[in-house]
Structure 1
Amino acid sequence: MSKRRVFDIDFDEAAVPAGTDNETPARRGPMAAAISENAEALGVRQAAEAEIRAENDRLAHEYVALKKNGQIVGLVPLDDVKMSKLVRDRAADRDPDLDELKASILAVGLSNPIHVEETESGYELIQGFRRLSAFRELRAETGEARFNSIPATLQARGAQLDVLYRRMVDENLVRRDISFAEMAQLAMSYAGRSGQSVAAAIDGLYASAGRQKRSYIRHFAHLLTVLGNDLKFPEAIPRATGLSLVKLLEDNPRFAGQVRAVLNSQPARDAVLELSLLRSAVTGGQSRPKASKPSVSRTSARTTIKLNRPEGVAKVTASSGRFEVALDHDFGAIEPRRLEAAARAFLDRLKD
Structure 2
Amino acid sequence: MSKRRVFDIDFDDVEPEVAPVSDAPLPEARRGPMASAISENAAALTERQAAETAIRAENDRLAHEYIALKKNGQIVGLIDIGSVKMSKLIRDRSGTRDPELEELKASIRALGLSNPIHVEEVEGGFELIQGFRRLTAYRELFHETGEARFARIPATLQAKGAQLDQLYRRMVDENLVRRDISFAEMAQLAMSYAARTPEIRSSADAVDDLFASAGRQKRSYIRHFATLLDALGQDLKFPEVIPRATGLALVRLIEGNDRAAGQIRAVLNARPDRDAAGELAILRSAASGGAAKPAVSKAPAPKSSSKTTIKLNRPEGVAKCTASAGRFEVLLDHDFGAVDPRRLEAAARAFLDRLKG
State the TM-score, normalized to the length of structure 1.
Answer: 0.80
Is 1:166 aligned to residue 169 of structure 2? yes
2:329 corresponding residue in structure 1: 341
Match of 2:145? 142
Alignment of 1:86-105 (within 5 A): 86-105=89-108
**Cα distance change, pair 277–189 in 1 and its aligned pair in 2 (3 A):** same
Equivalence for 2:222: 217
2:115 paired residue number? 112
Supply the distance in 1 between the matched residues of 2:247 and 2:40 (Cα, whole angstroms): 86
Question: Which residue number in structure 2 is paired with residue 54 of structure 1?
Answer: 57
Structure 2 gap segments, 5+ residues each: 1-15, 292-310, 341-357
Instruction: Using the TM superposition, give the Cα deviation of residue 351 of structure 1 relative to its aligned residue in structure 2, in angstroms.
Output: 2.5
Match of 1:240 among 224, 245, 255: 245
Amino-acid identity (%): 66
The answer on 1:277 being equivalent to 2:282 is yes
Q: Tell me the alpha carbon deviations over residues 274-330 of structure 1, each in whole angstroms, 9 at most, x when there is no partner.
A: 0001101111259xxxxxxxxxxxxxxxxxxxxxxxxxx985337xxxxxx678xxx
Counterpart of 1:316 in structure 2 is 314
Q: Residue 182 of structure 1 corresponds to which residue in structure 2?
A: 185
User: 2-side partners of 1:107 and 1:242: how far apart?
Assistant: 39
Conserved 8 A contact 1:236-1:275: yes
In 2, distance between residues paired with 1:243 and 1:83? 31
d(CA) in 1 for partners of 2:326, 2:111: 23
Are the structure 2 counterparts of residues 269 and 18 from structure 1 closer, same or farther at C-alpha, using a change threshold of 3 Å? closer
CA RMSD of aligned residues (A): 2.7
Alignment check: 8 A CA contact 1:248 1:285 kept: no
1:36 equivalent in structure 2: 39
Distance 1:124 1:52 in 2: 35
The separation in 2 between residues aligned to 1:242 and 1:284, in whole angstroms, is: 14
Aligned length: 304
Structure 2 residue aligned with 1:254, among 251, 255, 259? Answer: 259
Tell me, in whole angstroms, the C-alpha distance in 2 between the residues paired with 1:219 and 1:344: 25
SS in 1 for 2:127: strand
Work out the CA distance in 1 between the residues paired with 2:326 and 2:177. Answer: 17
Long gaps (5+) in structure 1: 1-11, 287-312, 319-324
1:199 is aligned to: 204
Determine the structure 1 residue equivalent to 2:231. Answer: 226
SS of corresponding position for 2:329: helix
CA contact (8 A) 1:117 1:157 kept: yes
Q: Does the 8 Å CA contact 1:255/1:285 hold for their aligned counterparts?
A: no
Once the two structures are TM-superposed, the CA of residue 174 in structure 1 deviates from its matched residue by 0.7
Counterpart in the other structure of 1:294? none
Match of 2:87 in 1: 84
- Secondary structure of the equivalent of 1:154? strand
Q: Is the 8 A contact 1:180 1:220 kept in 2?
A: yes
Change in Cα spacing, 1:49 to 1:347, as seen in structure 2 (3 Å) is closer
Q: Is the 8 A contact 2:318 2:332 kept in 1?
A: no
1:154 to partner: Cα distance = 0.3
Contact conserved, 2:117 with 2:156, CA < 8 A, in 1?
yes
Larger radius of gyration: 2
Measured after TM superposition, the shift of residue 93 of structure 1 is: 1.6
Structure-1 residue corresponding to 2:295: none
Over residues 26-82 of structure 1, what are the superposed CA-to-partner deviations in whole Å (9 max), with x where a residue is unaligned?
Answer: 321111101101111111111111111101100100000000000000001111000
Q: Which amino acid aligns with 2:212?
A: A
Task: Give the superposition deviation at 1:20.
Answer: 7.2
Q: Which amino acid aligns with 2:177?
A: V
CA separation in 1, counterparts of 2:77 and 2:224? 41
Question: How high is the TM-score relative to the length of structure 2?
Answer: 0.79
Aligned residue type for 2:204? A
Partner-residue secondary structure (3-state), 1:253:
coil
| Secondary structure at the counterpart of residue 75 of structure 1 | strand
Distance in 2, matches of 1:253 and 1:15, equals 126
Partner Cα separation in structure 2 for residue 326 and residue 200 of structure 1? 38
The one-letter amino acid paired with 1:281 is: A
